Chains A and B, each alone.
Chain A
Amino acid sequence: MELCELTGNELLKKMEKKEISSEEIVRSVYNRINQVENKLHSFVTLTEEEASLQARNIDGNMRKGESRGLLAGIPVAIKDNMCIKNVKTTCSSHILENFISPYEATVVKKLRDAGAVFIGKTNMDEFAMGSSTENSYFGITRNPWDLDYIPGGSSGGSATAVASDETILAIGSDTGGSIRQPAACCGVVGLKPTYGRVSRYGLVAFASSLDQIGPFGKDVEDVALLMNVISGYDENDSTSVNVEVPDFTKSLIENVKGAKIGIPREYFVEGLDGEVERAVKEAIELLEKLGAKTLQISLPHTEYGVAVYYLIAPSEASANLARYDGVRYGYRSPETENLLEEYEKTRGEGFGAEVKRRIMLGTYALSSGYYDAYYLKAQKVRTLIKKDFDEAFQKVDVIVTPTAPTTAFKIGEKVDDPLQMYLSDIFTISANLAGIPGISLPCGFSKKGLPIGLQLLAKPFDEEVLLRIAYTYEKNTDWHKRKPAL
């Protein structure tokens, strides 16, 4: 077995026993990248030289017996909407193609301080807008389980890199499902923390009231480990919340006895793929067998989630993306007559189709005469969606659903039908609107061999219950151990 196939926790134990070095791990990961990256295209930028140097430094420190961080020597891939100092941050967009970040995101700093080694920047839907990673200016990413299928999105590159052993760990961002849905499509574990749990400083803003950074791993244990490193209040992000960060690895307990699990009837309706439904129901039965109590619940406003999201997210995006004007950084259209034309051409040429579509939608929803009918209405229904969850969590500890209504779909299948693409996020969007944490973990495979994801949702700041239940499920199944044949 190659080192790149192991989990972060397994590698840390081997390093502890001095059986391996970080340099060997990094070499193994890059060998794998050289083998499969031309098929997958998980990365926008690879930073092999810096990674090797980082690894050698960590190995040197370890030999000297200097104190080690929680992730000392472990490779991590970063979604290309988070800033690593002096490395390109493109957001997979033409408009930021040559942007080199002069500063470091707080998550990146925390990872660096913990000894993580940065492998590269992963491909994504442009500005994190999409569910398939087909909206990247630099080309699509393919699903390692079947190269004709999408890897999910928008953090598609992070998910494929973990699934195919091109990295050990990865970081993504989730605005409407962009960690959980690709994790489901690629058969890995992905967690969207509570809004405010992780600092967004240095994350390129898409929809500021919904965006949250979170971890990808090959198993629940690795995700808990990453949560320990990236969580916490940051004075550079006034929406990060100053609450105590627990040791998430303490939640890795194989016990769900007495846990109350809610099954929302609105998630098991027409449109849910039969194979996905069966796998999720079997997962629920297993949790019952292990001692959890299940309860039918109702989240009555579920069906309005997508409509609310596609007003709120584009509205916030239209404001956030106003900064790309070709003045201070980024692409500037050559040969224009005046400043207005320069703005319009820079943005018209610099943004891709989906980004422009969403800026248009958001600008329309916020424009004079439409604000009350669209944006304000959406904010009110957002309150109803949040209330549904508040009421549900008075009765249950965790809610179990499919992560997505289907397994990964074919490349090209939904590119010309944005509404159909939007509906693939129907089960993940509500968690962002309500600000609650959610995790996706593998719970089976379709007949075609594509992974199926199980989603667990909990009340704000209760990632611990997610990790405990996910860990227990994982300990009693082996879906997460399967590897794609590449």
Chain B
Amino acid sequence: MITKKEVEYVARLARLKLTEEEKEKYTKQLGDILEYINKLNELDTEKVEPTSHVLRLSNVFREDKVRPSLKQEEILANAPEVEASHFKVKKVIE
């Protein structure tokens, strides 16, 4: 249904580091869940419109007016690492 290789591929897409044990477990569990989900194929949905959202909204705009926002220090207060009023991350470009 789903192979360990696929699990590893999906984990990479989702930016999740999994242990060997987790990979084995998810291969089995996701396989079971997907098998259950395949029951949807019993239904012919060729002519059915998809529902992404019950309210069927399109874009909602507000007026482009300046409003108060949080202060910089309030936003940075939860950051794991800060330097000179910036979020600090590892080097991105070599």
B-binding residues in A (CB < 8 A): 98-100, 102-103, 195-196, 209, 235, 238-239, 241, 301, 303-304, 306-308, 310-311, 318, 322, 325-332, 336, 338-345, 347-349, 351, 353, 356-357, 359-361, 363-364, 367, 374, 376-384, 386, 418-419, 422, 434-435, 460
Name the interface size band of chain B: 35 or more
Most chain A beta-carbon neighbours within 10 Å: one of B11, B33, B62: B33
Q: Are A345 and B17 in contact (CB under 8 A)?
A: yes
C-alpha gap A343/B92 in the complex (Å): 12
Q: Are A336 and B90 in contact (CB under 8 A)?
A: yes
Most chain B beta-carbon neighbours within 10 Å: one of A99, A311, A342, A364: A364
Determine the chain B residues whose CB is within 8 A of the CB of A340 once the complex forms: 15
Determine the chain B residues whose CB is within 8 A of the CB of A342 once the complex forms: 89-90
Q: Are A435 and B80 in contact (CB under 8 A)?
A: no
B48 at the interface (CB under 8 A from A): yes
Q: Are A330 and B52 in contact (CB under 8 A)?
A: no
| A473 vs chain B, min Cβ distance (A) | 27
Q: Find the B residue at minimum CB distance from A344.
A: B17
Contact of B78 among A318, A330, A347 (CB under 8 A): A330
C-alpha gap A308/B54 in the complex (Å): 14
A-binding residues in B (CB < 8 A): 2, 6-7, 10-19, 22, 26, 29-30, 32-34, 36-37, 39-41, 43, 45, 48-55, 57, 60, 62, 70, 74-75, 77-81, 87, 89-92
Q: Are B40 and A325 in contact (CB under 8 A)?
A: no
> In terms of DSSP, what is the predominant structure of the interface of chain B?
loop
> In terms of DSSP, what is the predominant structure of the interface of chain A?
helix
Q: Are A367 and B13 in contact (CB under 8 A)?
A: yes
Q: Are A209 and B52 in contact (CB under 8 A)?
A: yes
The contact sample of 17 A-B pairs, CB cut-off 8 A, is A303-B39, A307-B36, A307-B37, A327-B89, A347-B17, A356-B16, A356-B26, A360-B10, A360-B14, A361-B30, A380-B50, A380-B51, A381-B40, A383-B48, A386-B51, A418-B33, A419-B36
Contact of B77 among A100, A235, A344, A435 (CB under 8 A): A100
**Given A377-B40, A419-B36, also A339-B52 (CB < 8 A):** no
Q: Are A327 and B50 in contact (CB under 8 A)?
A: no
Q: Are A339 and B89 in contact (CB under 8 A)?
A: yes
Q: Are A379 and B16 in contact (CB under 8 A)?
A: no
Contact of A378 among B22, B40, B62 (CB under 8 A): B40
Contact of A359 among B16, B45, B79 (CB under 8 A): B16
Contact of A435 among B32, B33, B55 (CB under 8 A): B55
**Given A348-B16, A384-B43, also A332-B33 (CB < 8 A):** no
Determine the chain B residues whose CB is within 8 A of the CB of A422 once the complex forms: 33
Q: Are A310 and B37 in contact (CB under 8 A)?
A: yes
Determine the chain A residues whose CB is within 8 A of the CB of B36 once the complex forms: 306-307, 310, 419
Determine the chain B residues whose CB is within 8 A of the CB of A301 once the complex forms: 43
| A49 vs chain B, min Cβ distance (A) | 20
Q: Are A363 and B43 in contact (CB under 8 A)?
A: no
C-alpha gap A361/B16 in the complex (Å): 12
Contact of A102 among B39, B51, B74 (CB under 8 A): B74
Q: Are A102 and B78 in contact (CB under 8 A)?
A: yes
Determine the chain B residues whose CB is within 8 A of the CB of A325 once the complex forms: 15
Most chain B beta-carbon neighbours within 10 Å: one of A241, A303, A322, A327: A327
Q: Are B50 and A383 in contact (CB under 8 A)?
A: yes
Most chain A beta-carbon neighbours within 10 Å: one of B7, B75, B78: B78
C-alpha gap A325/B89 in the complex (Å): 11
C-alpha gap A345/B18 in the complex (Å): 8
5 nearest interchain CB pairs?
A: A435-B54, A348-B17, A379-B50, A329-B78, A238-B60
